[in-house]
A and B are shown apart, each in its own frame.
Chain A
Amino acid sequence: MTKQAKSLRKGKFKPSRAPVAKASRAKGSRVKGKPPRRDPLDSFVDAAAHALDLKLEPAWKSAVKTNLKVTLALAALFADFPLPDDAEPAPVFSA
């Protein structure tokens, strides 16, 4: 089991925070009102990378997020397509 997976099991998992979020909080502290909310997909990318034990270089994150956004948008096209509970997935395992 990876270190990240162990920390997930123990409930100690904390997604890392991207520098951009820190910057916006710092900026927000100088002006009145709430700081701009971080895009949840940025947090998801960080959390998923952590869970997968995958070190993302900062320069990769934007393209990873863009690709994930496209893929999730395509998934949304069939995610709500009505299928019965007993619909079998295409691959069928035979023992």
Chain B
Amino acid sequence: MDTAWAHASEIAAAVCDGRASAAAVVRAALARVAKHDRVLNAFTAVTAQRALAKAAAIDAERARGRRLGALAGVPFAVKNLFDIAGLPTLAGSKINRDRTPATRDATLIARLESNGAVLVGALNMGEYAYDFTGENVHYGASRNPHDVSRMTGGSSGGSGGAVAGGLVPIALGSDTNGSIRVPASLCGIFGLKPTYGRLSRAHTFAFVASLDHVGPLARSTRDLALAYDAMQGYDDDDPVCARRPVEAVAPLLEHGSAGLRIAIAGGYFRAGASAQAQAALARVAAALGVTNEIALPEAKRARAAAYVITASEGGALHLDRLRARGRDFDPAVRDRLIAGAMIPAAHVVKAQKFRRWYREQVRALFAHVDAVLAPATPCTAPAIGQQTFMLDGVELPVRANLGIYTQPISFIGLPVVVVPVPLQPLPIGVQIIAAPWREDVALRIAHALERAGTVAATRPSLERAE
């Protein structure tokens, strides 16, 4: 088995029936990280000792005839804002190196491991998650496996690079305004941002409490579903986590997209998209036979309100650190956070009131459609270091604008699957947006597109980059 590009579902099946040992799978993953991460810069810590011990325990379980979990022997890694016992939770910063090491794992790590997955390390990210590029002044930019001179996207940049580069089949990221969906798009992989409150954020380093989500990135919809199902469930440690039962999606994937009402997001989501973003959207829409458009009302205002809430809550969160250690921030992040702390409260309250109004308008649309298609990013991966790009004839900063199509969606917590369209020379993603708590709808459509060959995570040639 070529575990570098095998799906998690294939690895787990092989470990369960004895065709592969968890130890061999994990050793191979650690070897890939050692070989390729010098270029990809996806990892900030490798938990080799812990991973090998866990793999040995899984193999021993099997030898004793015990039933193994749905992710048995599957290596995974997490954005370094997830607590990992024994490590300081960096959240992409220099300042957090001084934090006391975490005394326990984040809830989602524990849940994946209880299903047999094996944590192999912590992943690079934009500082304090205030980023869409995957660049980091302290730890270096994470690099896009399809072209290592280009951005992964962020802020879950290492998560995108590690999965797209074949280092691990599953990674966890967080998404406040697009930080799972932007790297999934630029790196050409699948990403799931679940409904706000669906997955526990407990024991992660927060950014914007009103908007923070966590979720998986993978190279197939089945792997997304397996990881998502393993992580569902109420958690008393996250006040936002919903009291909902586990609603397993993996058994529903084969139901396909037949009978689902799907539309293309028009208006705001059409303006500014590059030819590549338009082509990817057209390809997905054609495969699904979708021609009708709907408008999400006031999406531009929604994006603006998300921007203001993010800046304000982010600034408030980091105010003490800005006072004491302003020089230790990435200047690009620091100056945005300081400005955020200065925003008049009236604007933030209005943004939260507008958010409720907008949610009601968009909810009403879901009486007529089951899913909405939209670009994930306005363009394919920009070059690392690129400061600006052109959107609709206007030159704008890359860092703040890669998420223009993702922000109005996470603003009201809708579940989204990003599917990778393998354009040449670089892939780009499309968002499949569903009604609240209907991750199953988005994943079923994604799976149908994958089976039809319309979307796929294509394998980059890392040897060229060595």
- The answer to whether A24 has its CB under 8 Å from any CB of chain B is no
What is the CB-to-nearest-CB distance from B133 to chain A, in angstroms, rounded to a whole number?
A: 16
Q: SS class of chain B's interface: helix, strand, loop or mixed?
A: helix
Q: Are A75 and B351 interface neighbours, CB within 8 A?
A: yes
> Which residues of chain A come closer than 8 Å to B351, judged between CB atoms?
75, 78
What is the CB-to-nearest-CB distance from B204 to chain A, in angstroms, rounded to a whole number?
A: 19
> Which residues of chain B come closer than 8 Å to A87, judged between CB atoms?
353, 356-357
- The answer to whether B352 has its CB under 8 Å from any CB of chain A is yes
- The answer to whether A10 has its CB under 8 Å from any CB of chain B is no
Which of these, B305, B342, B347, B353, contacts A48 with CB under 8 Å? B342
Q: Are A75 and B355 interface neighbours, CB within 8 A?
A: no
Query: If the complex has contacts A52-B342, A79-B347, A81-B354, are A60 and B304 also in contact, measured as CB distance less than 8 A?
Result: no
Which of these, A60, A78, A91, contacts B350 with CB under 8 Å? A78
Q: Are A71 and B355 interface neighbours, CB within 8 A?
A: no
- The answer to whether B359 has its CB under 8 Å from any CB of chain A is yes
Q: Are B357 and A63 interface neighbours, CB within 8 A?
A: no
Q: Are B354 and A75 interface neighbours, CB within 8 A?
A: no
- The answer to whether B307 has its CB under 8 Å from any CB of chain A is yes
Q: Count residues of chain B with CB under 8 A from any CB of chain A.
A: 39
In the bound complex, CA of A49 to CA of B305 (Å): 23
In the bound complex, CA of A90 to CA of B400 (Å): 24
What is the CB-to-nearest-CB distance from B199 to chain A, in angstroms, rounded to a whole number?
A: 19
In the bound complex, CA of A54 to CA of B324 (Å): 9
In the bound complex, CA of A49 to CA of B323 (Å): 10
- The answer to whether B319 has its CB under 8 Å from any CB of chain A is yes
- The answer to whether B44 has its CB under 8 Å from any CB of chain A is no
Q: Are B342 and A44 interface neighbours, CB within 8 A?
A: yes
Q: Are B322 and A60 interface neighbours, CB within 8 A?
A: no
B200-240 CB contacts (< 8 Å) to partner A: 210
- The answer to whether B339 has its CB under 8 Å from any CB of chain A is yes
Query: If the complex has contacts A60-B331, A75-B304, are A90 and B353 also in contact, measured as CB distance less than 8 A?
Result: yes
Which of these, A66, A68, A74, contacts B342 with CB under 8 Å? A68
> Which residues of chain B come closer than 8 Å to A79, judged between CB atoms?
346-347, 350
In the bound complex, CA of A56 to CA of B338 (Å): 9
Which of these, B338, B347, B354, B359, contacts A83 with CB under 8 Å? B354
- The answer to whether B163 has its CB under 8 Å from any CB of chain A is no
Query: If the complex has contacts A75-B308, A81-B298, A91-B210, are A68 and B339 also in contact, measured as CB distance less than 8 A?
Result: yes
Can you list 6 residue pairs at the A/B interface with Cβ under 8 Å? A45-B342, A60-B335, A74-B304, A75-B343, A78-B350, A90-B353
Chain A to chain B: the 8 pairs with minimum beta-carbon distance, closest first: A67-B339, A89-B352, A63-B335, A74-B304, A90-B355, A48-B342, A68-B339, A75-B347
Name 9 extra pairs, CB < 8 A, besides A54-B319, A81-B301, A89-B349: A52-B323, A52-B341, A54-B326, A64-B342, A67-B311, A71-B343, A74-B303, A83-B353, A89-B353
